[in-house]
Amino acid sequence: MFDVMKIRQDFPMFKNNPGLIYFDSAATAFKPQPVIDAVTDFYTRHTVNTHVGDYDLSHYVSGLFEETRETLRRFLNARDAHEIVFTNGATSALNLAAYGWGAKHLKEGDVILLTEAEHASNVLPWFKVTEMTGAKVEYIPLENDGTLTVENFRKAMHEKVKLVSVASVTNVLGYVVPVKEIAKIAHEYGAVVVVDGAQSVPHVKIDVQDLDCDFLAFSAHKMCAPGGSGVLYGKKELLEDTDPLMVGGGSNARFDLCGNLKLKDVPWKFEAGTPNSEGVLGMKAAAEYLMDIGMEEIEEYTKELNAYFVEKMQQLDNVILYNPKATAGIVTFNVKGIFAQDTASYLNTQHIAVRSGNHCAKLLLNVIGTSETVRASLYFYNTKEEIDQFVEVIKGTTIEKCIGVIL
């Protein structure tokens, strides 16, 4: 049984910040005790480097480190634990896919297909690839409400498209994108499919074999893992054909004075340098924690919260809601006549944490017709009571109160 009150007890942030309503989990998520313990254990019991097998402690930590790949493999239902590359977040994972695969395989005349709802981290690396290769970026048109349909994708797809990169849940509107159908069509054209899972992996059950995506990038810190942890999943054969972003210690099998270099196998060839071991061990604890609760349960509960939130917000006549059809815990809105930052700043005085701004998805402005919005984002530790309180505050939000923030 999903018991949110019990779950909240796992998160010290709630105890240490009584009264805080945290609706910014799309930026980063709170950490439960088992994750904190995993990090503290590393610091207090086995602070040693991985992969130096000369002593027992290192052997032990290396074991945990490599077991994390297996945990993440299970979490994503990947075929092989070696398909899990550790990165420090979605941004570095997307950059690895772009520079490591895109820049290596794309050429002049090729097309990279994105949407206008992508986060900067899933746009800018591809811009760089176009500079490097002469390939160009095209956009799949969105519906007026910002959703992406399979029909529109099919229309945008053509022979020259060699790579498609889309967020499976977008960070501003929170819509779930039909990635499985997209991958199927893209593969008929022989294109490679990259999925930005930063906002989906924390909230919905992901099965990479079922989706049949070629790469999946995500930030583990948004799913309760420590800061600076993330993953690039890639199909083995594609990873083998991907160059590392960085080379150095730990990524080479051997090299000599003449400049001959033999890289290690996948995934170690991508992980040059001493790794963020505490982040990786914390990520293992986070994935286990989420699997213990059950990703299906988390997904169900998030949907329920989201629907409840939307229903309440729709009853307010001082609110413009931009994404009533979203299901993954992101509610994007404005209070009529009030600039997003003023609203967020007023909410702050009411102990509510939300994000205002254009949320790094600057291309989307043309689609929803507004440049600034307030984003309230939920996670499975939030409650209907918090939503009720939030809605009460929004109901009473006026420009006078917003100005009052500085008086």
* Total binding residues toward another protein, as defined by CB under 8 A: 19
Query: Which is nearer to ligand PLP, 168 or 397 (by Cβ)?
Result: 168
Q: Judge whether 81 and 94 are in contact, CB under 8 Å.
A: no
Q: Which of 335, 334, 329, 318 is nearest to 386 (CA)?
A: 329
Distance CA 333, CA 321 (A): 4
> Binds 399, which of another protein, ligand PLP, none (CB < 5 to 8 A, cut-off by type)?
another protein
State the helix-helix crossing angle for 295-314 and 277-293, rounded to 10 degrees.
Answer: 80
Q: Which of 213, 224, 258, 360 is catalytic?
A: 360
Nearer residue to another protein within complex by CB, 118 or 342 = 342
Is residue 374 within 8 Å of 9, Cβ to Cβ?
no
Length of the chain, please? 407
Q: How far is the CB of 64 from ligand PLP (least distance, A)?
A: 23
| Contacted entry of ligand PLP, another protein, none for residue 89, CB cut-off 5 to 8 Å set by kind | ligand PLP
Which is nearer to ligand PLP, 89 or 146 (by Cβ)? 89
Binding another protein by CB under 8 A: which of 12, 63, 109, 404? 404
Shortest Å distance, C-beta 405 to another protein: 6
Binds 403, which of ligand PLP, another protein, none (CB < 5 to 8 A, cut-off by type)?
another protein
Residue closer to ligand PLP by CB (options 122, 332) is: 122
CB of 379 to another protein, least distance (A): 23
Q: Tokens for 36, please give them.
A: 């904190």
Could you say which of ligand PLP, another protein, none residue 405 binds, taking C-beta under 5 to 8 angstroms by partner kind?
A: another protein
Residue 18 contacts by C-beta under 8 Å, 6 or more apart in sequence?
none
Cα end-to-end distance, the chain, whole Å = 47
Residue 225 CB, shortest distance to ligand PLP, in Å, is 11
Decide whether 23 or 101 has the Cβ nearer to another protein.
Answer: 23
Q: Choosing among another protein, ligand PLP, none, which partner's interface includes residue 119 (Cβ < 5 to 8 Å by kind)?
A: ligand PLP
The whole-angstrom separation of Cα 125 and Cα 92 is 10
Residues 333-352 that bind another protein (CB under 8 A): 339-342, 345, 348
Nearer to ligand PLP, 115 or 397 (CB): 115
Distance (Å, whole) CA 330 – CA 334:
13
User: Contact between 120 and another protein (CB under 8 A)?
Assistant: no
Q: Which residues from 341-400 bind another protein, rule CB under 8 A?
A: 341-342, 345, 348, 356-358, 371-372, 399-400
Tokens of 274: 């001493």
- Closest to 10 in 3D by CA, of 41, 44, 45, 34: 34
Binding site for ligand PLP (CB under 6 A): 89-91, 119, 121-122, 167, 171, 196, 198-199, 219
Of another protein, ligand PLP, none, which one does residue 406 interact with (CB within 5 to 8 Å by kind)?
Answer: another protein
Q: Which is nearer to another protein, 47 or 371 (CB)?
A: 371
* Catalytic-residue membership of 360: yes
Structure tokens at 160: 């020259």
Q: Which two tokens stand for residue 378?
A: 């939920």
Backbone angles phi, psi at 229, to 5 degrees: -125, 145
Helix, strand, coil percent content, the chain, rounded in steps of 5: 45, 15, 40
Give the C-alpha distances (Å, rounded to integers) separating 292 from 62, 220, 299: 24, 16, 13
- Tokens representing 86 are 């550790």
Residue 121: contacted member of another protein, ligand PLP, none (CB under 5 to 8 Å, by partner type): ligand PLP
Mapping DSSP to helix (H, G, I), strand (E, B) and coil, where does residue 159 land?
A: coil
For residue 187, the surrounding DSSP H or E stretch is helix 179-188
Name the residues annotated as catalytic: 360
Q: Which residues bind another protein (CB under 8 A)?
A: 339-342, 345, 348, 356-358, 371-372, 399-400, 402-407
